[in-house]
Structure 1
Amino acid sequence: MAAFALSTSVVCASSLDALETFLKSTKSGRADFTQVVTPPVKAGQTMVRNKTSIGQFSFMRPTRFRFDYVKPFAQVIVADGQTLWLYDADLEQVTARKQAQALGSTPAALVATAVDVSALQKEFALEAQADSDGLQWVQATPKNRESTIQSVRMGLRSDGAQVSLSKLEIFDAMGQRSVLSFERFEVNPVNLGLTQFNFAVPKGVSVIRP
């Protein structure tokens, strides 16, 4: 029993250390992603249909990130440091929210805006989990009980002294599961600049400010 307890503590320390390394050493990043959304099973259903999207993700700590969804529908989510923009090309509509109020206990705060573990712990309860699939896992649960997110699992890949994000598993309060798998993750790319996080409202598109 003592040996098991010791090995568990080592695993826990290792995954939290990996998260700390990722947050502190990765000042910016860029990757391709695939997102698979699985809705909750309703009464009488025998199966559910997953929805798959692909795109690119980039960020620059502590206030900027961008999701460019390419397929099956074009959509852009940009945080420029002041405003969180959501552009739906099919609806020809942009939603703009104050960034400080919109983020909080969101997956984006976990990945792109927090600068260290102690900053994350202001919004999330962090729990190290056992390694699996070649990744080190940390679960984050929002402290805000009104959050629409139930929990987020982060899968981190260590390559020597460098740590990159490989997976995000997001469980929302309605029972929906969303898994983002990141590929070709670039740590601190030299050609990623602030201007890439600017957003210009397309001509003729309506803007909603809730």
Structure 2
Amino acid sequence: MKQNTFFKFTASALLSASIGLAHAGAVDSLKKFNNDSDGISGSFSQTVKGKKKTQTTSGTFQILRPGLFKWEYTKPYKQTIVGDGKTIWLYDVDLAQVTKSAQNQTIGDSPAAILSNKSALDSSYTLKEDGTSNGISYVLATPKKNNAGYQYIRIGFKGDNLAAMQLKDSFGNETTISFSGLNTKPNLSRSVFKFTPPKGVDVVSH
């Protein structure tokens, strides 16, 4: 369940914002964010609502474009997800298990791709303005491919900051992510996104 939460979320992942909303639309803000931001870091709270269960998690994330991300869940369980450009590593502390998979196959058109790849948005999604709620202006991103796995992704901005993402996957699960403490100019090194499985854990390849 936890692994699926990331891959259907994100990574996680993973993914966009900026403007004076009174003078420009949320789509313009999203495109400006993609053009201007080479790195992103901050905190998140994520709620996944399924047909039978609702689960809320929180933690921190770091992204260095293109293609690098680190997503760390701290509550209610500890889990680390790292994309190093070639491989996605998912380390579940409670299970003492690491799952590895090819990044280009796992990410696809997911939110993690949006956040870690500047070109993913325009190439894979159709964008349109989607109204304002609670001071947050939203972009509706609809996948161009029928097999993307998502019915839609909504990306919200408040002021100059990425504020929220809302997603609905093909199974009807709804994910809501709130961002805080966003830094669009973090001083990140590529070494941050290198992952070595801890000694004594099981490593499973997908």
Query: Do both proteins adopt the same fold according to a TM-score greater than 0.5, normalized to the shorter chain?
Result: yes
Please give the range of the TM-score, normalised by the shorter of the 2 chains: 0.7 to 0.9
Tell me which residue corresponds to 1:5. none
Tell me which residue corresponds to 2:123. 122
Separation of aligned partners in 2, 1:175 and 1:133: 24
Tell me which residue corresponds to 2:48. 37
Tell me which residue corresponds to 2:54. 50
Separation of aligned partners in 2, 1:60 and 1:94: 22
Q: How does 1:150-161 map to 2 (within 5 A)?
A: 150-159=151-160
Is 2:179 aligned against 1:175? no
Structure 1 residue identity aligned to 2:123: K
TM-score, normalising length: structure 1: 0.81
- Find 1:14's aligned residue among 7, 22, 25: 25
Tell me which residue corresponds to 1:24. 35
Is 2:185 aligned against 1:188? yes
Q: Conserved in 1, the CA contact under 8 Å of 2:67 and 2:113?
A: no
Tell me which residue corresponds to 2:116. 112
- Structure whose alpha-carbon radius of gyration is higher: 1
Tell me which residue corresponds to 1:59. 63
Q: Conserved in 2, the CA contact under 8 Å of 1:55 and 1:69?
A: yes
The residue matched to 2:123 in structure 1 has which SS?
Answer: coil
Which structure 1 residue ranges, 5 or more long, are not aligned? 1-9, 41-47
For the aligned residues, what is the CA RMSD?
1.9
Alignment identity in percent?
Answer: 35
The residue matched to 1:122 in structure 2 has which SS?
Answer: helix
The residue matched to 1:150 in structure 2 has which SS?
Answer: strand
Structure 2 residue identity aligned to 1:202: P
The residue matched to 1:66 in structure 2 has which SS?
Answer: strand
Separation of aligned partners in 2, 1:141 and 1:95: 29
Structure 2 residue identity aligned to 1:96: K
Separation of aligned partners in 2, 1:205 and 1:150: 36
Separation of aligned partners in 2, 1:69 and 1:169: 18
Which structure 2 residue ranges, 5 or more long, are not aligned? 1-20
Aligned-residue offset at 1:49: 4.9
- Find 1:74's aligned residue among 62, 73, 78: 78
Name the count of aligned residue pairs.
185
